[in-house]
Every structure is written in C-alpha cells, then in structure tokens.
A and B are shown apart, each in its own frame.
Chain A
Amino acid sequence: MKLLLDLQGAQSQSRHRGIGRYTLALSRAFLARAEPLHDVRLLLNARFDTPTDALIATLGRHARADRRIVLDVPEGIRAQPGGNPWLRRAAARTMRHAIEGFDADAVWFSSLLEGYNDDALPPDAPPAGMASVATLYDLIPLHNPDVYLGHPRVRQWYEQSIDVLRRCDLLLAISEWVRQDAIERLGLAPERVVNIGAAVDAGFRKPQADVAASEDLSRRYGMTRPFVLYSGGFEQRKNVSSLIEAFARLPEGLRARHQLVLVGRPSQEEKAQLDAVARKAALSPDSIIYTGFAPDDDLVHLYAECALFVFPSLLEGFGLPPLEAMACGAPVIASNAASLPEVVDRRDAQFDPTRIDSLVERMAQALGNPAFAAALRLYAQERAATFSWDGVAERALGALQELAQRRGAARTVAAASTQARITCVVAGDTGTPAWLAELDARVVSPAQLPAPGDASPLNASDTRLLYLVNPGTAGQLAPIMQTHPGVLLVQEASGNLPAMPDQRALEAAYRTGGYADLLAACSPGAQAIDPRLLALAEDALGVLCTDERAAQPWRSQAGAASLPQITVLPAHGTSAACRREIAHAYATHPLAREACLFDDIANMEGKPGDDDLAALANTIVAARPPGGVRRWLVDVSGIAEKDLRTGVQRVVRNILLHWLKSPPAGVRVEPVRFSNGRYRYARPYALSLLDVTQIQLPEDAVEIANGDVFVGLDWAIDTIAQAEPQLRDWHRRGASLHFLVHDLLPLTLPDMFHPYARGRFEDWLRRVAGIADQLVCVSRATAEDLRHWLNTQAPDYQFGAPPRLCDSPLGVDAVLGTGHSVLRKPLAQAMHTRPTLLMVGTIEPRKGYDQALEACEMLWNTGTDCNLVIVGHYGWLMETFRTRVQAHAERGRRLFWIDDAGDGELDAIYRQSTALLAASWGEGYGLPLIEAARRGLPVIARDLPVFREVMGGAARYVSAPGAAELAAALRGPLTTPVSRDTIPATSWPNWEQSGAAMAERIARFAP
C-alpha cells in the first residue's frame, strides 16, 4: 500500500497542543510498524520551517528525503480575519490536486481542523482516486456551538473542515465515545469510523523516589501538605469549579490535611470565576494552588506524589491527563462522562460529574481510606500499561489495510475515457494519414484555435488535441502548444537536420536536455532529434510515432531529457490505438491535470491580484512530482561574479566543464549563482565557459524539486550567510546538499591568517556543516582535520545528524605546456648560470617563504651558489617579507619574485628549475608539487601528511623546524642535482578523472 501521511497537525500551531503530540507519537509508532511493508510518504507544509526541521530530526530515517513531500503553500491564507479568502480556496484546491498527483492508495490527514490562525492547508475536498483517512479527535464544538463557534468566521471555517472530514472514507477516532459521537452527529455509517485509541508518552512513568527532588518540587510550587491534583484546561466543560466545591465540602479533617493543586493555564476570566467559587465555599487562600504551566518533568513528579488525582470533565475526546497520572502511579478518580470510562474503567473510581455529592463521596473515600487508595494505585499502573502507541499504531494500520482491501475489492479500474472529441491541428503542408478519418476528428489550422477560456467547443473540457507536426511547421505550433498542450503525432524520421538551428530551437534543446543537448544542437550531426521538434516536446502530453524509425531519435534522447511518453502506433488498428493513447495521455499527464485545475480556479469567485496568481502558480509548480531527470545545481557564485584565477576557481572551472560536457547518467547539470537575494541559473557564465555564443539565456530564479542535488563547488564565502536560509529550505524539500572543502587551514593554523578571515572561514564552515548531507574533501588529510573539527565543535545540524565525509582527489591538466615560452631576461640568465630552487604559491605566512629565504641566505653566505625563484601573487600578513625581498641585495641577481607569470612562463620555469621547494606549514592539497613532478622536477617537501598522501614516493621530505636544518637539506640537491630521469613515475588523475570521481562520490550519497 502506498500511503501519504499528512503531518501538518505536527507542524502547525497544533504542535503546541495535544493534536501535535498525538500526531508525532502515533506517526513514530506507525512508521516503525508500517515500513518497510508499506510505502509511506510524509506530506509536509513548507511554510513551517523550524518545526519541520525538528519533526524530520525526530522521525529520523522515516523522514529521509525520498520519503518527504514538502509542498510550498502561499503566504497569508489563514482563515482568520486578515487572511486572503480567494487565495485560501485556490490553494486548498491546489492541495487536493497535489495529493492526487502522487498516485497513492490512501492519504491520511493527521488533522483536518487546521489553518484558522496559521498557513496550514487541508484540501478543499477528499482527493479523488485514493482512499481518504483522517484522525478524529472530537466533535466537542458541535455539542455547544454557542460557546465554541460563536464567531461567524470560526463557524464557517469549522463547518467547511467538518464537511471534508465527513466525506473522508475512514475516520480514526481516538476513543469509542468519539466514534459513537461521529456516527450520530455526522450521520456516518459505523464501518466508516474506527476507534484506534490513544496512549501516553514513555516519559510518563513512575519516577524513582527522590526526597530532595520532592522537597524542591514542594518548595517551588508551594505545597505544604498532601495534595489533591488536577491537570488540564479550565474551560467550562472541564468542570473545575465542581472540583473546588467538592474539595470545600470534604469532611473538615480531610480538607484541612490536604491542598488542592491545579496545574494548567486558566485565562483571566476563568481564574476570576474559580476564585469566586473558592470564596463562596469559604476556602482559605492556601487551600488552592495554581501552578500554572508545568513542564513534563515536573508533571511526572506531581502525578507520582499526589494523594489523589481527580478529573471531573463533562466532555472529553479521550482524557489524556488521567492516563498520564495513572502511568505515573497516582490513584485516579474520574468522571463517568464521555470517553473517560474508557480510560478509568473501574466503577468505584468513577463519579457523576453533574452531582457534587458524588464527587465528594468518591474523594473522601480515596483520601480517607488508605487501603482503597493503595488499590487505586495498583490498578492505575496495571490499567495504564494496557495503553501503548504501538497498540494504537497497530489498530490504525489494521483499519487502513481493511479499507484498502475493501476498496480493492470494490474498485473497478476506471478506464480513461476514449469517447472525447479529437481535434487535429495541422499546420502548413503537413500530410494527414489516411487512418485519421476513422477518428472522426475535427481538422483545424493553428489560427482556428480559440484562446483558453473562450466559449468555444474547441475549449470544452472533453476536447483532445492532436498536433500533426513536421520540422518545417514546428515553429508555428510552439507558441500555440504553450497555451493548448496536446499530443504530438510524428509521422516520419527527421530528415536533414539544420546546420545551425535558430535561437528558439537552441533554447528548446537547452530546456529539454540541458547543456549537453545544447552542445549537441550546436554541433552539426551530434543531435538525435531535430531541435525544431524538440521545442514542442515540453508542452506535449505524449508523442505518437507512426513507425519505429520515427520513434528512435526520441527514445535515444529520452534518457537525459524531460520528454513525455513516446509510443509507436501499430500498423493495424492505428486509429483505435491513437484514440486510446490520446485518452491515456490526457488522463495521466501532469499538464492535462493542471488544465482541469486551472479551469476550477478560474471558476472561483473573487478577484485575485497578480501576486496572488504568481503565488498560486508557484505552489502549482512546487506540487509537481519530480521528473525522471535529476538536476545537479552547481554553485558558481564566486567565479560567475569574477574569475580571479585562484586555485579554488581553477578547480571549479575544470570540474564544471567536465560535468557540463559529460554529465553523470540521468543527471542534468545546472550552474547556479546566488544573486539579488536568491539562487539563479548562472546561464551566461555556463555559456561563456562552454564557449557557446549562438544564444543568450536569462538568469532565471531556480525552482527546486525533491531529489535535486546542490553542489557547493565554489567557495561561496561571500554569499553563504544570505544563501543559507534558501539552502535550508531546499534541504527540507528533499534536495541533498554537498560542499567541497579544500582545507581547514584558517582553523588549524590560526596565526597565519587575519582574525577577520579566520572568523569568516569558521562562519562559512559552521553554516555548510550545519546543512550539508556530505562534505567532499580534496584530500584524506583535510577529511581528517574536518572530522576532528566536527567532533570537537558539534555544530547545530539542521536535521540533527552530522554530514558524511569523503575525499576526492583533484586533477591535473592533461596536456603539459611546451616549455617554449621565453623567460624574462635577468631570470633566464640567472637560471642558466646556477641551480634554481623554485617556490610556487601565494605569498602568505603558512607557505614558509620566510624560512626558505633565510635558508638560502645561509647557503649564499656559505658559498653555495643558487637562485631562489618565487612565483605567486602577494597574499596577506607578509608585509615584512615583501619589504625584505624588495630591499634584498640579491634581488634580481639570485633572488626573484615573479607575481605576474602566465601559464606558459610558469611551465618554462618549472622545466628549467633544479628543484621545487614546498616549505608550507599546512596545505589542503598541493597542486604545484604535482605540476613540478609531472615535468620531472625533483620536489623537496615539508613532511606533512597531505604531501605524503598526494606525492607518495615522488618527493623528498624534510621536517626542518629551523632555517639551518632547511639549508642543510637543500644543499645536497642544489649542489648535486638529481637527474630528472630518476624521479619515480607517478600518475595523478586528470581533470576528467577527477570530475568523474567527484561525481561518483556525490551520486553515491544523493537520494
């Protein structure tokens, strides 16, 4: 059974009340019992953000991304004054449409009485095509409408909600009394209401005796003698005034020895009324204690320590407080009204709540007879043990299964209607097949189609459109199909594909198949389908082909693109098959179902504004089930703004280029950037990276779907603070989030970074760690650092669980430079004259330039003739070093600092140097080491785990805590250079392999 469980009752303001607690407790027990036998999906409302995160964390694996359906509903749709009635009605209709689209066997609403004072959104009617089930807590407002439904708006909202409730196939009542009440008041057949009961949380159990805690409790709440306890609400039906009167009428000795403790939150009016009752009964001020709100921990102790718990309610859907009290071992007496005898089923523990004498008698018996009190205590725990959430879940599951069986037996498969009138739209010189006459179809030209909503037989709800297309006329049909989606009939295979399709066809190629299809469309011979036909696919409900040859190109494209169902019509019985397929497409395709929704919404009274329609359109799109093609949204916020040619940006460029050209199977890669307050498609950047100049694409806002993958490939430190709320929202909706982590150096080597940079880095890391599903590190060393940081810092994780960690190595350029670039003159001369020690990297403290220069000065002073060549931009916190280099006596002779070297010159320097020195005190990876080694340059590296991981045996390692040790380590390689032929052959992945490996790691943990 595929079941949709609507959890809005645990998200909305009801989460503060019994409904929320009941929903959460039952859901946990139910999911544990139902899965994996049944496919249970959770329906959540995206308007409730933090409560949803807490709910997902609590439900754990049962609420994993592929189980969640998070619907975005418009803001401001509450039923109370100030809400938008038209938008609420339209959104409720859309909610029904969304639920119907998930093709479940049953939907179970945790609470249909929602949305009065928040944006919870039950549907406007039970959805069609599936069984509808709702939890029924009580119908108490119908017992006393003047009290509960006095306000006309409340009454209207309640009646509408009850109407939906009444039309559900099955109601799960929380007690037998509620069940009988529903049968009677709603006129329901008995088999449509099942009592599943209720239970209390496991936290309500008899606590260990603790004298100190008991004294502390008494001191905090003001108890000075044994007490009679009440816990619950204070509205009239709770009958607390009778309890006060009865307490006052207890025999003098008993009354004087006890206090009455009332736990709960009376309103001012209720408190005044109860005070008046107490005054009239001449109770002394210290006889009654109002504790106010008491947390569960205190409540457990109050229950356990009371002399008697009394529950005098006149109307109760279940009666949770007496059950909680019994579970904690309290002697309990309760009224014999409504559902309470189902909880306290011992006759001598019941009383008539309408007769104060009855209440006095029972209280006196329990307080004055220790044996009776002891018997009640014993009974309480035995009775409470018979209530469990697992039992409630078992009954609920049984009722659902029985309903499914009943429906399964009764259901006749509703065949899609094949009686609808077909209209063939034929543009230009498109030929019509002979069998079309058998369809008795109207044949019209595109110009004859009326606008949607116009009174015309062609707009009737039973009209089905069949578009006959060929590449030459596709351009005429594209704008018409956007407003009149229909089925395409393709009669011949694409002939000669255009050398270069026009802008519209290229846009269509991108929209249906992403950058991979766009590149194919731009490359003559590479595209499968004529891009002009592809432009029609996104508004087609289905593609019918007259032979396999015509279908083949569509099929070959379907794996990577969002295409409708493709069907080949048989040679015989073609017209009947065509009619059948058209009917099926109209019955199942989301666009056809949406057309019905639009018609219903258009028929609603009211004048919506542009923003209302936009909000509703947003909800409708968000409600679409995810398509077959998964998207990877790759963050390029920094590099798309400005490519500073940093090492990180080099990684972004190379990996992204590979992903765009060769996306992982079934994946559409979309670069995105955070701009103007939201994520947008970074299409101009992607087109420039791919060197596609034939079209321009807008930077539209990104819409998210469950199953999408966000990859934080760029180091978006400038945008993360603003972007985080949107990423949290995407995460909630079922997107999985992955971030690339290059290093933790600002945290592991704090002295080597500016405090401001440290703070910004830590802020970035804390934010991404809090929301990530996976952090992909560029090396095992970085992954270890990160694991240690997560263990010690324990950031606040969105769903309560830390991210997974993995490592994926970076790549190197497949093709080395030619080495033919000409070096600037003084450098060329110096490198020709003496051995050269090369250092490559930004000038920053951790790179060890200070120590290297000092070591070289020692070498120079002791007669070792060598060059020190530094290639890198100036970074930070190295002013002294810069001044020292600029004023150095050897500058321009044996000391060179080149901060503007291009790729060609750097390649030449690598090739003409004697050794590369990597003196860093910390690194995330170490690309210069690989670049040097690949050119046969000996590498002398500080003995860091990351260097050993990256270079293995291809480097010589030195620890060199001081300049003298470093000088000693360098002297040998400079005076007796190692032959380049002796460097061990080591292979590093190229960017293509690196990109593929990273994609594999992401795909492995994406939903």
Chain B
Amino acid sequence: MKRLLHLAKQFLARHPGLRRKIVNAIYRVPMLDMRLRAVLDRRDDPAWRRVDAADLPQEVRMVYSRLRQRMERR
C-alpha cells in the first residue's frame, strides 16, 4: 500500500493540475487524509527492524533479562 502511494505521489508530481484536484478532494475528508498520511509515514519494517525477543543482540538481551527480573518480582 505504501509503495503504491509512493508511486502515485511520483506520478502526480509530474501532473500538478491533477495533483491539486486529488489533494483537495482528500483534504476534504480528514479521516482519509490522516489515514493516508499514516500509511505513508509507516515504516516497512524488514527483519532487521523487528525486535524479536528470541533474537536479540547480546547487550539488549542483558537489559531485557534485567527488566524481566524486575517485572516478574513486582
């Protein structure tokens, strides 16, 4: 979806008249506007970005276990 929106943005950048019409239409529906912005801002989190509790770097693993110990005993 994000990729599609980026392609659409690139296309519209070459057609300013059409871009203005579409942007105006979208701005008149605030919920749609907000959602589209959220999609465009969303990261395509590939594997390296996902934080997986079972596959943490060593230092993160240590902090994680210290946090867990405290959470379990509260």
Contact = CB atoms under 8 A, between A and B. Distances in A.
Nearest to B46: A725
A602 B74 contact: yes
B68 interface: yes
Contacts of A614: 51-53, 56, 60, 64
A963 to B, nearest CB: 51
Interface in A508-543: 511
A616 interface: yes
Among B21, B34, B57, which residue has the most Cβ atoms of chain A within 10 A? B57
Nearest to A293: B23
Interface residues of B, number: 43
Among B37, B41, B47, which residue has the most Cβ atoms of chain A within 10 A? B41
A702 B71 contact: no
Contact of A265 (B28, B49, B51): B28
Contact of B28 (A268, A608, A677, A678): A268
Interface in A96-130: 117-118
A480 interface: no
A706 B37 CA distance: 30
B29 A703 contact: no
B63 interface: yes
Nearest to B43: A49
Contacts of B71: 453, 601-602, 608, 613
Nearest to A453: B73
Nearest to B21: A292
Given A75-B45, A271-B28, A677-B48, A453 B69 contact: yes
A617 B73 contact: no
A987 interface: no
A598 B71 CA distance: 9
Interface in A252-279: 265-268, 271
Interface string B23-57: 11001111000100110010101111101110111
Nearest to B34: A117
Contacts of B56: 614, 617-618, 700-701
Nearest to A598: B70
Contact of B70 (A599, A618, A702): A599
A278 B27 CA distance: 21
B74 A293 contact: no
Contacts of B47: 676-678
Interface string A610-634: 1101111110110000000000000
Interface in A852-866: none
Given A453-B70, A703-B59, A265 B27 contact: yes
A725 B48 contact: yes
Nearest to B37: A13
B63 A13 contact: no
Contacts of B64: 613-614, 617
A678 B68 CA distance: 25
Interface in A567-618: 594, 598-599, 601-603, 608, 610-611, 613-618
B10 interface: no
A766 to B, nearest CB: 18
A677 B30 CA distance: 37
A618 B51 contact: yes
B3 interface: no
Contacts of A267: 27-30
Contacts of A610: 53
Contact of A292 (B23, B57, B60): B23
Given A75-B43, A511-B58, A602-B67, 13 more contacts: A117-B34, A220-B17, A295-B16, A451-B69, A451-B73, A453-B72, A599-B70, A608-B71, A613-B68, A613-B71, A615-B51, A700-B61, A703-B57
8 contacts: A268-B29, A292-B20, A451-B73, A482-B65, A611-B51, A613-B64, A621-B60, A726-B46
Interface of A: 13, 16, 47-49, 74-75, 117-118, 220, 265-268, 271, 292-295, 451-454, 482-483, 511, 594, 598-599, 601-603, 608, 610-611, 613-618, 620-621, 676-679, 700-703, 722, 725-726, 729
The 9 closest A-B pairs by CB, nearest first: A677-B47, A453-B73, A292-B24, A678-B48, A265-B27, A617-B64, A614-B53, A602-B70, A617-B63
